[in-house]
Structure 1
Amino acid sequence: MASPKKEQKKTTTTATRHVALLRGVNVNGITIKSADLKALFVELGFDAVRTVLASGNVLFDTDERDAGALRTRIEQALRKRFDYDAWIVLLTQKQVADMAAAYPFERIDEERHPYLVFGSDPAMLDEVMEKAGTVDPKLERLKQGKGVLYWQCPRGESTDTPVAKLLAKTRYKSSTTARNLRTVEKLIAD
């Protein structure tokens, strides 16, 4: 007589795919290798960790639900490991996908770069919009979305326009970071 098969436990996953967007990595003397960044996220106990490009983009799975505590834990680990003033914007991959899908300007433009400006503090995004005032549409475009700013600027001038100079202010360093739409599309393709 054959032995009865052991009943297999059904496992359900409650993990959510997250995107950590690090501010100021691999610029201004802050160099972090992708392998080292990935290793830190693995050590923090996250699953399916993957870095995208060398500009501080990390995809990972976790079942942790407190986004504020999760963000703080990651920032503290980055500070300790890499000895710099680390700030991240933390979103779910679905949030990033929804933001990208709502991009209001031309996605492919021979003269302009498409950007998304992500924020960890909605009040700071509101403030950027207010301080930017009326943007000259011949130079750049700026529109507020849900938890994001959509920005388009001339190729080669992503640090020189009025909006770029506003975003570079120290005041926004801890709460905002920008990514080119093509980078964002790589983050949601995973």
Structure 2
Amino acid sequence: MKKYIAFLRGINVGNIRIKMSDLKKAFDDMGFHNATTYLQTGNVVFESDKNISEIKIILEKVLSETFHYQVFVLLYAYDVLAEIVANYPFEQNEASHAYVIFVEGEAVSNELLSIAENVTEEISGGNTVIYWKVPKGESLTTPFAKITAKAKYKSTTTVRNINTLEKMLK
């Protein structure tokens, strides 16, 4: 059995409200094992014998039907997430947030990194992710934040704080 991390895009923002207990139950009902949710943003650690591409298809289909909205899932093997977290390139401090932007697709990642060349924020590319350090209180207002919030990236990106990711790996 292999351990995976699922990040659901857009949970508990806007009109999409899902209790984490309901999300955990949905994972259990789909036959996944040891599902644990973190925070209220659709972070789920679970185990499965299925391969990652098969899991993604199942999750997006069943969760969309269960919760009545188009679910977008970014899915990672547990060991891949551990590597992503370990490779965070910026010094962490109390004045800034340390974020990982999970990106599905090399074209989207390249597009965002190209745009990032024109901003003064600390941004660096990684393996299927973009690392981002932003001053506290500015996570929604910086030029790069406004770009990543555009509707065109809704299905292919999601942002998580490195502190949350570290807790998920424990």
| Short-chain TM bin | over 0.9
Moved more, 159-168 or 118-127: 118-127
Q: Could you tell me which runs of 5 or more consecutive residues in structure 1 were left unpaired when the two chains were aligned.
A: 1-14
TM-superposed deviation, 1:179? 0.2
- TM-score, normalising length: structure 2: 0.96
Query: Aligned equivalents of 1:113 and 1:173: distance in 2?
Result: 21
TM-superposed deviation, 1:124? 0.9
Query: Aligned equivalents of 1:78 and 1:162: distance in 2?
Result: 32
Query: Aligned equivalents of 1:114 and 1:158: distance in 2?
Result: 10
Q: Could you tell me which runs of 5 or more consecutive residues in structure 2 were left unpaired when the two chains were aligned.
A: none
Query: Aligned equivalents of 2:53 and 2:149: distance in 1?
Result: 24
1:64 to 35, 50, 56: 50
Q: Report the RMSD for the aligned CA atoms in angstroms.
A: 1.0
Q: Does 1:133 align with 2:117?
A: yes
Query: Aligned equivalents of 2:157 and 2:57: distance in 1?
Result: 15
Query: Aligned equivalents of 1:168 and 1:147: distance in 2?
Result: 18
Match of 2:68 in 1: 83
Please tell me whether Structure 1 or Structure 2 has the larger radius of gyration of its CA atoms.
1
Percent of aligned pairs with the same amino acid: 39
Query: Aligned equivalents of 1:122 and 1:74: distance in 2?
Result: 22
Query: Aligned equivalents of 1:187 and 1:175: distance in 2?
Result: 21
Q: Does 1:150 align with 2:135?
A: no
Q: Does 1:113 align with 2:97?
A: yes
For these two proteins, the number of residue pairs brought into alignment is 170
Q: Does 1:100 align with 2:85?
A: yes
1:175 to 156, 159, 164: 156
Query: Aligned equivalents of 2:61 and 2:71: distance in 1?
Result: 8
Q: Secondary structure at the match of 1:25?
A: coil
After TM superposition, the runs of 4+ consecutive aligned structure 1 residues lying more than 6 A away are none
- TM-score, normalising length: structure 1: 0.86
